[in-house]
Copies of this chain bind each other. A is one copy, B any other.
Amino acid sequence: MAFFKGQETYSIDSKNRVAIPVKMRKAMSEEAEDTFNVTLGSEGCIAAYPMDEWKKYQDKFSHLNQFNEKTRFFLRTLLQWSEDAVLDGQQRILLPKQLTEQTGIKGKILIVGMIDHLEFWDPEKYSDYMNGHNQTYESVAAEVMSAE
């Protein structure tokens, strides 16, 4: 099972290609077959799940009852941005134009490891997000981890 961590600031070129940092590539399992499921992530980033991790979610979605209106809304919202991306010969993935436009990513791109997936951020948006919290890291940590 994958465990992604760390961060890197890379370039996204005119063709929307981004190299995957070696340390993160190495964290991928063989079963992913160099394929990611790329989709819109939370707080305005792009999320990329290795295929093997994504399949677990797929199974759940397949068994939902589509005769329910809320289920349909949920699936449409979730799946509309979702797309496969295979690494090229240089270990880069091609990010869908729709997603880079939606998230304002251009030129420089921040890649963050998030356990079972990678996140791609506009560097500026990321620092705004980080600075936008008035609670300290320590107090949030205490809250989140107290339930465990």
| Residues of A in contact with B (beta carbons under 8 Å apart) | 1, 3-7, 23, 42-43, 58, 60-62, 64, 66, 68-84, 98, 112-116, 119, 130, 133, 137, 140-141, 143-145, 148
Contact = CB atoms under 8 A, between A and B. Distances in A.
B115 A83 contact: no
Contacts of A112: 76, 79-80
A79 B113 contact: yes
Contacts of A140: 70, 73-74, 77
Given A6-B82, A68-B144, 15 more contacts: A5-B83, A6-B79, A6-B81, A23-B84, A42-B72, A43-B69, A62-B116, A66-B114, A70-B140, A74-B141, A74-B144, A75-B114, A76-B112, A76-B114, A77-B140
Contacts of A60: 145, 148
6 contacts: A3-B58, A5-B83, A6-B81, A43-B69, A60-B148, A78-B137
A141 B72 contact: no
Contact of A137 (B4, B74, B84): B74
